[in-house]
């Protein structure tokens, strides 16, 4: 089972910030949070990942709560091209055991409105 | 950035045919690649983990004799759907993670849409 829960859908006005929440209350101390998005009929696109500090790159910002049980992906100025399904993933398994893998949840379907 | 190429992007073939899908990491070496399947309006489902030079690890419920995985080099993994039937029609996606980087993200190919008539 996926280790994250997300709202099934959200709308956002074009040009406004899109804030996508994710709960990962069972996250372990050394597990990273990864965000991807999938535009229709394409493979998932990597956005950002983090451990406990807030992260920012050219695509988005990632805010992780101090207890690490939840995070928020922020798209600062959403455009129509940001319409996609956004997945928050906490890696399952351990690298050294060779069982490291992603288990995808249902994600959040973000619709950016003109 | 890391690029993963998947080929072909679309396949349409008759029932009973075997179909091979290639997944290549173009600018990095990948000791581990992953194969997913996605049905319409559903999320990605992990099928198997492909390890270079060893047997793949299949998820529960995925038939290893039906979905043959070969990872013969650090840049190439293949998935062969053997004796494909209409119920195997789906969107197949691979991903790869760079060697020696346990916390770096996986990078995904653009998927292969398989349609079995």
Question: pLDDT tens, B32-83?
Answer: 899 999 999 999 999 999 888 888 999 999 999 999 999 889 999 999 999 9
How many Cβ pairs closer than 8 A exist between chain A and B?
Answer: 56
In the predicted structure, residue A99 carries a pLDDT above the cut 60: no
CA distance A62 to chain B (A): 15
Structure confidence by residue, pLDDT tens digits, A38-77 = 998 899 999 999 999 899 999 999 999 999 999 999 999 9
Confidence of residue A91 (pLDDT cuts 50, 70, 90): confident
How far is residue A38 CA from its own chain's centroid? 11
CA distance B46 to chain A (A): 7
In three-state secondary structure terms, B88 is: helix
CA atoms of A109 and A86, how far apart (whole Å): 6
Measured at the CA of B23, the angle between CA A2 and CA A91, to 5 degrees, comes to: 20
What is the distance between the terminal CA atoms of chain A, rounded to a whole angstrom? 36
Query: Per the omega criterion (within 30 degrees of 0), is the bond before A10 cis?
Result: no
Q: Do B106 and A95 touch (CB under 8 A)?
A: no
């Amino acid at each position: 089972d996926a280790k994250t829960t997300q709202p099934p859908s959200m709308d956002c006005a074009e040009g406004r910030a899109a804030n996508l929440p994710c709960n990962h209350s069972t996250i372990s101390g050394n597990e990273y949070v990864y965000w991807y998005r999938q535009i229709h009929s394409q493979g998932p696109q990597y956005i950002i990942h983090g451990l406990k500090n807030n992260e920012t790159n050219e695509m988005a910002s990632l805010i992780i709560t101090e207890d690490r049980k939840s995070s928020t992906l922020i798209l600062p100025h959403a455009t129509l091209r940001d319409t996609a399904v956004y997945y928050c993933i906490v890696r399952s398994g351990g690298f050294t055991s060779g069982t490291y893998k992603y288990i995808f949840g249902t994600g959040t379907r973000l619709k950016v409105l003109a | 950035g890391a690029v993963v190429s998947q080929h072909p992007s679309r396949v349409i073939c008759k029932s009973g045919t075997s179909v091979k899908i290639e997944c290549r990491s173009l600018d990095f070496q990948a000791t581990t690649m992953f194969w997913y399947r996605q049905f319409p309006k559903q999320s990605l489902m992990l099928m198997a983990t492909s390890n270079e030079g060893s047997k793949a690890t299949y998820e529960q419920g995925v038939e290893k004799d039906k979905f043959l995985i070969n990872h013969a080099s650090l840049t190439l993994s293949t998935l062969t759907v053997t004796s494909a039937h209409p119920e195997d029609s789906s969107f197949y996606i691979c991903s790869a993670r760079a060697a020696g980087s346990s916390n770096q993200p996986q990078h995904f190919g653009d998927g292969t849409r398989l349609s079995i008539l």
